[in-house]
Amino acid sequence: DQLMFDAAISLINERGTQKTTLKEIGEMAGYSRGLANYRFGSKDGLMLELFARFDGRWKKHLGSYINGQTGIAAVLAAADALRDFLKLESAYMRAMYLLWYESLGHESEIRNKLADHHNVYRKDATQWIKKGISSGEIKRTINPEQFAVQYCAFIFGLVYQWLVCPDAIDLDKLFDDYEENIRNLLSAKE
């Protein structure tokens, strides 16, 4: 399976999901042209499994950074997790975002799963902010739900820009600036 996933990532990054076939994935992985179809049933089946594996890797990576933190520390830890994931898993990130963006043009299981994941991301960010407000760390004037939307807009907008033109973005400078802005925006301490 891993060889087929690696082949799928490579082909998606080269051609996009629409021009990537199961036959090519199986052959690039060193197997017969029909093995990918036999193993996953369809291209959508393989893409859903690729999505699930990516999601598992991301959740594990993010969890190791968040590690029970809330408030500003959780927001900053999540930003650090993304910065590092973009560097460590750049080919996988690129392939997954291509898959996700290409799924937006039609109703699909991947699009529905992506919508569910966005809801989870907003819910997590909302909880980080609510707990920070409760502890007195974050200003009471911050709307947790609206912050969560803005946080996700930054994350997904950044990845989109990075996909389009990675050389135009200095990730370290961007994240350092973002983290300083977050501290200034959220901190209840003057």
R_g (Cα) of the chain, nearest Å: 19
d(CA 51, CA 117): 11
Q: Tens digit of pLDDT for each residue in 39-66?
A: 888 888 888 888 899 989 999 999 999 9
Residue 184 sits at φ, ψ, to 5 deg, of -65, -40
Using 50, 70 and 90 to split pLDDT, how confident is the model at 168?
very high
Instruction: State the pLDDT at residue 190.
Output: 65
Long-range Cβ contact pairs of 14-20 (< 8 A, separation 24 or more): 16/98, 16/102, 17/47, 17/98, 17/99, 17/102, 17/103, 18/102
What pLDDT is attached to residue 135? 96
pTM equals: 0.88
Report pLDDT digits (tens) over 103-154: 887 788 888 888 999 999 999 999 999 999 999 999 999 999 999 999 999 9
Separation CA 151–CA 153 (nearest Å): 5
